[in-house]
Structure 1
């Protein structure tokens, strides 16, 4: 057997070359970006919700944040509780915004409307773009909240107050 001097015909093991400068720069950039992402994830408070900027701005307009309140979350005024309600006609969600005042009526199976709350503050509107899953979060006092959840109904109707 004769040994050839040509490298293409030789069966030596593959020898890896050290990484080039371009590869090292790319790997370094990836490590730096991953480090920055890890710092940003750790810097975000654990309980902070991920809210859309428009919802956060609307909530901030509805009521100022008291000290210690989380931004982007509806602030429930003192003396009231937040009560979520589903409207019988969900297209009305497109007309209501946080900060509006509404009269809340419960619709019975017979079609009668029973007053539940007067001038309730709208804290949040969910699903205005998809009314089938949307609803309102209203600030109601204890008595109004009890009336809102007391009896089964077909849903609620609202009357939007001016102002």
Structure 2
């Protein structure tokens, strides 16, 4: 079973992201806009029980917090991704560090973790720069309250759906 851990933003942020994603993100129909805490991980059914218990316990110690999206940015030239960036990513990074331990720990990643909501990916360099210039003309100022995280699993058709949500209760 393939799983992932995410934060779903508010409907306002999702609507803004989807207005761009529907034409710029080939994964638009596979998953709703989100901030990834733990990217896809292949696990067994036995590990799933351990992970859900671990997440329940860890989420109980984490307090809810607010985040603010204040701009569009890119990962260019490392990858052809354009995304909604956070004014201060540290609270999301701290939450990830608190939750992604044990079976969810990432021992090595090819990139520095940057919490974000993808607006477009797999774009050509020219398209990326054009879209980025266009999005930067939009007023981006969204604030969200993060009070839960979602454990997702990948279905047979490649889409992602929620398995369980965990309230931050610290």
TM range (shorter): under 0.3
Scaled by the length of structure 1, the TM-score of the pair is: 0.25
**Relative contact order (C-alpha < 8 Å, sep 6+): which is higher?**
2
Scaled by the length of structure 2, the TM-score of the pair is: 0.24
- Bigger Rg, which one: 1
